[in-house]
Amino acid sequence: MAESLPAVASRFYTDCKKCDAERYHIVLAHTSATAAKVECEICHSKKTFKLAADKKAPKKVSGAAATKKAQASEARKNAHAKEFHELVENAAGDAQSYNMKLKFLINQKIQHPKFGVGVIKTTHPDKVEVIFADEVRMLVHNRS
């Protein structure tokens, strides 16, 4: 159901930024099909009230741009796939669950809740570079 603006000179309940509370406002004028000038009945501040925008589907890319984007994505995924599989095979033991409070070592296998299994490639005092199946990511570690 499409939402419409309240009629001019009518009262409606909405959030007042100046009062920092929900208050009755009076519609002074419609400025467009989806916006109106309103005034708070308590503090008399004037603002523009806009209807909630309908969420539109993201624009699809087609043709040469889509092909180029797909090729770049595939190249990124394949760039380190061989290295990832070698590191996973050579990493000893089971994968440890990722927790930013833990300290990780090079070639340690981790299990991240979102990215899956990964292997620590390099370490820094507060960050680790982890190679996952899809890409290399920097994660925080050793935070206490």
Q: Which domains does the chain have, with CATH numbers?
A: 11-50 (2.20.25), 79-140 (no CATH)
> Tens-of-pLDDT digits for all 144 residues of the chain?
467 889 999 999 999 989 889 999 999 999 998 999 999 999 999 999 998 876 666 667 678 888 888 888 788 777 778 888 888 888 878 889 999 999 999 999 999 999 999 999 999 999 999 998 888 899 999 987
pLDDT computed for residue 1 by the predictor: 45
Distance CA 57, CA 4 (A): 22
pTM over 0.75: no
pLDDT computed for residue 58 by the predictor: 66
Taking alpha carbons only, the member of 116, 118, 140 closest to residue 128 is 140
